[in-house]
Amino acid sequence: MSEFRATGIAKRFMIGDRELEVLRGIDLTVASGESVAILGVSGAGKSTLLHILGGLEHPTEGTVTFGGENLYSMAPPRLAAFRNQTLGFVFQFHHLLPEFSALENVMMPGLLGGGARPQVRKKAEAMLAAVGLTERRVHPPGKLSGGERQRVAIARALVSRPGVLLADEPTGNLDPYTAGSVEDLLLRLNGETGTSLILVTHNEKLARRLDKQLYLVDGRLQS
């Protein structure tokens, strides 16, 4: 496992003839296996920062490195492969493919990465067992509860044993009881797999359960 580092991250958007600076020289280091919560008010730029950390959106300035390799120096095909193999994503809305079963959704990253189907299936079944969904593996998302769908999304994100898991308000669309069980699961898997966790949330109680809490204020991270 390797250190995940963002250095000098800035992001600016043009709105008409006006420039809007959302992120201003952000530095962030996450050690292997560490869990970090990023908090801030709505519109502070938390999701934008997470998308930049995950290679989904280019920064205006700055670098994001994992194991010393800069994501934004990679050619697009290499970056896509890196995201698939090294980074896991969990969003507020699960983004599962409705025409596939829970198991097939979890298998997708491995199949897209060129893995052999029997091995990919074995890993996906083990991951679904880890999130408590063995008995629901043949059901499509439409037959699952909100909490179950989010558990499938977590299994999909972790099936390739990524170095870093990026979660954007992963329980924001769930009722309090279900949210609590999903939070417990994320933190348990963070401890068991050694995958670093970067979680965007507005939930102070959840944030305090992570190793480190950082606040995004006026485009900068504060402890």
> Looking at residue 147, what is its pLDDT?
85
Q: What is the pLDDT of residue 200?
A: 92
Mean predicted lDDT score pLDDT of the chain: 89
DSSP state, residue 215: E
The reported pTM is 0.86
Q: What is the pLDDT of residues 165-212, one digit of tens each?
A: 999 988 877 788 878 888 888 888 888 888 899 999 888 888 999 999
CATH architecture of 4-222: 3-Layer(aba) Sandwich (3.40)
Classify burial at 115, counting beta carbons within 10 Å of its beta carbon; exposed 0-12, middle 13-18, buried 19 or more: middle
For the chain, the domains span: 4-222
CA distances from 7 to 62, 65, 68, 148, 184 (A): 6, 8, 12, 36, 31
The pLDDT, as a whole number, for residue 120 is 92
CA 109 to mean position of chain CA atoms = 14
Phi, psi of 183 (to 5 degrees): -60, -45
